A and B are shown apart, each in its own frame.
Chain A
Amino acid sequence: MTTSTSTTLQPIPGNSLTRFLSDGWVTTWRNLMKIIRVPEILLFSLIQPVMFVLLFTYVFGAAIDIPGDGYTSFLMAGIFAQTVVFGSTYSGSAMAQDLKDGIIDRFRTLPMSGAAVLVGRTNGDLVINTLSMLVMMGTGLLVGWRVNSSPLEFLAGVGLLLLFSYAFSWVMAFLGMSVKSPEIINNASFLVLFPLTFISNAFVPSENLPTPLRVFAEWNPVSALVQSARELFGNVPPGTIVGEAWPAQNPIATVLIGVSVLLVIFVPLCIRKFATISR
């Protein structure tokens, strides 16, 4: 058997863990560079939630009567949840775009970890989502939102929202690789995510909804996320009637279970899909 050309460059020593971390960092770096070089992505993912905060506060705020701190405080958890759920869509369209551009083909001919590419992808979205959370919080505080809980609870609330969006990013990354078209991902996710976020307790208390919608809202994981965030931020209006469904009674547990289930299913699915995908 022959040996390779003597001048071929050899890898520096490392084990699969250090290589995975290094590959994960390099692909995360690449996605962060994209955020820096194409600022429109960040700009538009920030404008929408800010617009929602302002529109809902001033248009619906007067019409919807919420006891306690009023509508703005009630609304914020809903907007946070909606934004991070929609933010995960980016994982899908960016994955589809990378596939189209052939950069995934390049990665797949390199001796790197395929899982690291996906980690880099979802990490990049976590950064975008974190930034939009910060901007939304600033906007919220300006229009009268107040956190009525301990710093620890507040951080737990933020963590839960980001965790949920992270899990959703993996779902979207899988869809992006399956559909292979950034446009379809954007349009299709709009059709799914709009009802998912609106038929929930995000913008109006779900107890007032007609029965079929109310049942849907009570079982909707987005409702659980919103309810958890409201509890952790101390924004639950006094006298709120909590639905009887288990998720409505145990929102934080529901979110944690939901996140685990999504990750357990979609992380391996994504890795398997990635291993055979090509432009």
Chain B
Amino acid sequence: MSFIEAIDLVKTYSPKGSPQVRALDGLNLEVQQGSVTALLGPNGAGKTTTVKVLTTLIQPDSGSAFIDGVNVVAEPQAIRRMIGASGQYAAVDQNLTGFENLLMVGKLYHLGTRVARQRATELIELFDLVEAQNRTVKGYSGGMRRRIDLAGALVIRPPVLFLDEPTTGLDPRSRLGLWEVIERLVADGTTVLLTTQYLEEADRLANSISVIDNGQVIAQGTADELKASIGGLRVAVTLVDESQSENARTLLTRFGSGEQAILTGRTLVVPVQDGPHALAAIVSAAAEEGIGLHDAGMRRPTLDDVFLQLTGRSAQTDEAETESAA
């Protein structure tokens, strides 16, 4: 059995006045001990719902989940002794100072006042909040709140850490800082499950990526495996005139290795067999058919391509958001 294991999780929501939502639709997940696993998926894919089930916040309608062999649904209190969790939105007490927030969390883990204080002091330093530690969180910026919340997840140095979009809202320096913290924790043996919208983050941190869409894991592997799984080189072109996109798509698909070319905005991407050859052919055919190109190039697949190929959507577009909200 894997260290974290989710089997066939189903969770439906029935919001008032709108149709039922199947947030998790038979989701299966395995996380190896000591790894960093990233859940990657468009808005509304079910990432937060998965994390909430694993951190005992909500109960699945059916299916089961285990952490280190402990049943998440049946023994939530045992799970809570071994996890640290930071949700998608910072969960901090606005009227307490940063230090008091961490002290409170330590006390509620029953560490005793002395250890709780000591740990709060360490974490305040680790997250670069020494100057702000005695101010109430109400006056913190979004990123500072986020950091206090993340620090709260690390209070007991938990063997398992759940981070739901940990770097959303952090500035580049804090993001880099957090990545380093996570890498150090992993070096010490912590198992991390995180969700992210940033492919770069998954690429850099995760040994294993699970792509989620519509409440199911639709692909799983290392970043390299996922990239390899969707074939070799891509040819990407940017159109001058968006109205020519249908013609251009047909053209690219003709020179591709079999799959449809995918359009996002004015950019078309298609997997190809023989890169240089296909690129030359596409450029000359476009000139012949009068399709204007801003630029054309060849590149290795990125995680974004994986995303596009698997979900038909880009990971970071607003389209995905409106789609899931509708």
Enumerate chain A interface residues (CB-CB to B < 8 A). 1-2, 4-5, 7-9, 11-12, 14, 19, 22-23, 26, 30, 33-34, 37-38, 101-103, 105-112, 276, 278-279
Residues of B within 8 A of A2 (CB): 3, 33, 68
Enumerate chain B interface residues (CB-CB to A < 8 A). 3, 33, 52, 55-59, 68-69, 77, 80-83, 85, 87, 89-96, 100, 104-105, 107-112, 115, 119, 136, 149, 152, 155-159, 188-190
Check A9 against B157 for contact (C-beta < 8 Å): yes
Residues of A within 8 A of B89 (CB): 102, 279
Which of B57, B68, B81, B94 is the one whose CB lies under 8 Å from A1? B68
Known A11-B81, A278-B52: A103·B92 in contact at CB below 8 Å: yes
Check B68 against A4 for contact (C-beta < 8 Å): yes
Shortest CB distance B200–A (Å)? 27
Of the A-B pairs whose beta carbons lie under 8 Å apart in the complex, a sample of 17, sorted by A's number, is A2-B3, A2-B68, A11-B109, A14-B110, A26-B104, A30-B96, A30-B104, A37-B136, A101-B91, A102-B91, A103-B91, A106-B105, A109-B56, A109-B85, A111-B77, A278-B57, A279-B87
Shortest CB distance A81–B (Å)? 30
Shortest CB distance A108–B (Å)? 6
Which of B85, B96, B119 is the one whose CB lies under 8 Å from A9? B119
Check A12 against B57 for contact (C-beta < 8 Å): no
Residues of A within 8 A of B68 (CB): 1-2, 4
Which of B81, B91, B189 is the one whose CB lies under 8 Å from A106? B91
**Complex Cα spacing A279 to B87, Å:** 10
- Top 10 nearest A-B pairs (CB, nearest first) are A102-B91, A11-B110, A4-B159, A106-B91, A111-B80, A12-B112, A109-B85, A5-B159, A9-B156, A112-B108
Check B81 against A23 for contact (C-beta < 8 Å): no
Which of B87, B90, B111 is the one whose CB lies under 8 Å from A11? B111
Shortest CB distance B61–A (Å)? 12
Starting from the known contacts A4-B82, A278-B52, 19 additional A-B residue pairs (CB-CB under 8 Å) come to A1-B69, A2-B33, A4-B68, A4-B159, A5-B157, A5-B159, A5-B189, A8-B159, A9-B155, A26-B104, A33-B100, A102-B90, A106-B92, A106-B152, A107-B108, A108-B57, A109-B80, A112-B109, A279-B87
Residues of A within 8 A of B152 (CB): 106
Check A19 against B87 for contact (C-beta < 8 Å): no
**Complex Cα spacing A33 to B136, Å:** 11
**Complex Cα spacing A85 to B156, Å:** 41
Which of B69, B83, B95, B107 is the one whose CB lies under 8 Å from A22? B107
Residues of A within 8 A of B155 (CB): 9
Known A1-B69, A7-B188: A33·B95 in contact at CB below 8 Å: yes
**Complex Cα spacing A30 to B107, Å:** 12
Candidate in A105, A111, A276, A278 with the most chain B CB atoms within 10 angstroms: A111
**Complex Cα spacing A7 to B56, Å:** 23
Residues of B within 8 A of A33 (CB): 95-96, 100
Check B157 against A8 for contact (C-beta < 8 Å): yes
Residues of B within 8 A of A12 (CB): 110-112, 115
Closest to B110 in A: A11
Check A23 against B91 for contact (C-beta < 8 Å): no
Check A110 against B80 for contact (C-beta < 8 Å): yes
**Complex Cα spacing A110 to B95, Å:** 20
Residues of A within 8 A of B108 (CB): 23, 26, 107, 110-112
Check B80 against A34 for contact (C-beta < 8 Å): no
**Complex Cα spacing A33 to B137, Å:** 13
Closest to A19 in B: B110
Residues of B within 8 A of A5 (CB): 157-159, 188-190
Closest to B33 in A: A2
Check B109 against A110 for contact (C-beta < 8 Å): yes
Closest to B78 in A: A111
Known A26-B104, A106-B152: A34·B95 in contact at CB below 8 Å: yes
Closest to B155 in A: A9
Residues of A within 8 A of B33 (CB): 2
**Complex Cα spacing A109 to B55, Å:** 6
Shortest CB distance B97–A (Å)? 9
Shortest CB distance B161–A (Å)? 10
Known A2-B33, A9-B111: A101·B94 in contact at CB below 8 Å: yes
Check B58 against A276 for contact (C-beta < 8 Å): yes
Residues of A within 8 A of B83 (CB): 109
Shortest CB distance A16–B (Å)? 10
Known A4-B82, A11-B110, A109-B83: A38·B95 in contact at CB below 8 Å: yes
Residues of B within 8 A of A278 (CB): 52, 57-58
Shortest CB distance A37–B (Å)? 5
**Complex Cα spacing A22 to B106, Å:** 12
Check A110 against B105 for contact (C-beta < 8 Å): yes
**Complex Cα spacing A102 to B92, Å:** 7
**Complex Cα spacing A110 to B158, Å:** 12
Check A30 against B93 for contact (C-beta < 8 Å): yes
Residues of B within 8 A of A106 (CB): 87, 91-92, 105, 149, 152
**Complex Cα spacing A19 to B100, Å:** 19
Residues of A within 8 A of B56 (CB): 108-109
Candidate in A5, A8, A12, A110 with the most chain B CB atoms within 10 angstroms: A110
Residues of B within 8 A of A276 (CB): 58-59
**Complex Cα spacing A279 to B52, Å:** 10
Which of B57, B104, B107, B157 is the one whose CB lies under 8 Å from A105? B57
Shortest CB distance B104–A (Å)? 6
**Complex Cα spacing A88 to B104, Å:** 25
Closest to A29 in B: B104
